[in-house]
Structure 1
C-alpha cells in the first residue's frame, strides 16, 4: 500500500499547502467570482496532472482507466438525461400541487456566474477528482487487495478508497469552508458516502467522464425548476427521482458497454497497477 500512501500524502499536503499559500499571499479567504473559479480550476488541473504523471510512471494510459475521447459522449449524456428527468419531475410536482413557479436560474446567480460554476465543477473538479481517486487510487487499492474478479475485494477496495477520499478533503474543508469540530465530521461522512456511490458507479461503467460529470453535478446541481421564491425545488426530488434514474442509467450503460466497449473493463486487472511499488 506504499504507493497509495505516498499518493495521498503528496496530493493532500500539496493541496493544503497551495490553499494556505493562496490565502496567505493572494487572498485572505478564497473569493467568489472569477478569481475563485480560477483558483478552483487551477487546483483541479494540478491534481489531474499529478494523477496522470503517476499513471504514466506506472505504465498505464488514461484511456485504460476510462478517460478518453470515446468516453465523453457515452459518459456525459446519461448524467445530463438524469438531471433532465429530475427537472421534469419538478415541473410535474409544481403542476400537481397547483403551485406557482418558473424555469430559470436561481435569483442569486447570473448567467455568467452559473456558466463559470458549471464549467469549473463539471469539467475540471469532477473529472479531475474522479481521474485521481477512481482512475488511479481505487484501481490501485483494489489491485493491492488482489481484487479484479473478486466482488468482495472490489467492494473492500471501494470502501477503503471512499474513506481515503473523505480524509483527503480535510484541507479543503478546513481552509476553504472553515469547518472545525462538530461541523467537520458530518461533512466528511457525507463525502465518504458519496465517494462510495461514485466508486460503485465507476466499477460498473469504467468511465471517468460518467462519474466525473456526476460528481460535478453533485457539487453544483443543475436545477432549473424554481418555486415561488425563485429557489430550486427541494433536494428531496433529487433523491426520490434521481436515485432510481441513476440506477437505471448505470444498468443500461453497463449492458451496452459490456457488448460495445468490452475493452474498457480490462483495466480491472492491469498488471502495472497490481505490481507497481
Structure 2
C-alpha cells in the first residue's frame, strides 16, 4: 500500500475539524509520507506557533526517514533486505502497537499483506503472495527487525500517519501550546476546548458530527481508492485476501496511531469482532460505520 492512497481517504472521507470557538489562529501546511499535513494553533503567540511549526517540519523529515516508501528509509531497507539492524525507537513503537492491534483484532490488522496487495494491484495470481502473509513471521527488538521468509514485506500505511500525528502532538506539548489541531492524514485534537468535526462519506453526505477534545479520529474507506487492472478492488485487503465488510469506518481514541490501526482493521471485521477488539482498548470507540 502507498501513503498517497491513505491521504486520499483522509481528504475525501475523514474528519474536517474546525475550531469550536473563536480566537487567534496560526496555521502551517507541509507534507509527509506523500500527504499534506495541516497544523492549526488556537491562541498563543505568533512566535510560539512559528517555533512549533519549525520543529514540526524537522520531526516530519524524521518520519520520512523511517516510514517513507522512498529509497533509504528504514521501511524500504527492511523490505528490500528482509532485516533492519538497530531500528529506531519510532519504528519499534509502531511495530509494538501493530502487534497489539493484530492480537486484539484476531489478525485482521496485519502489515505483512504488502505482497498480496501488490499482486492484487497488478492483477497477478495471488497464491504465492498469500503464502508470504503472516505477522507471526516478523521478529523485532532493539537490535533487529527481521522478516523470516524471503519475499515478505511490510506496509505501515494503516498506522504510520497516525504515528506522525501523535509525534506532532508531543512537539506541541514541548512548546506549551494547549490548543492545536493536527491533520497528518489522521486527526489529533489537543486542548480543553472542543474542535468540531464532521465525518463525511466519500460522496459528501454527513454521517456524524462530534466535538473532539483531547482525542484523535481516523477514518478508513475501503473503496475510497480502488486497485487492480479494472480499478474495481478495494485497497484495504485482509490477510486471507478477504473483502471489506464495511465501506467506511471511523474510530476515535486517545492516540491517532491507535485510531488509525483500529479503523483499518475494522473495515474487515464483523461488528461483534470490532466490539471485542475495542474492549482491549477502552479509550477507543466507533464513531461511524457504513456497510459495504
Class of the TM-score when normalised by the shorter of the 2 chains: 0.3 to 0.5
Q: Which has the higher contact order (CA 8 A, sep 6+)?
A: 1
Which has the larger share of helix?
1
Greater percentage in strand: 2
Could you say which structure has the larger radius of gyration? 1
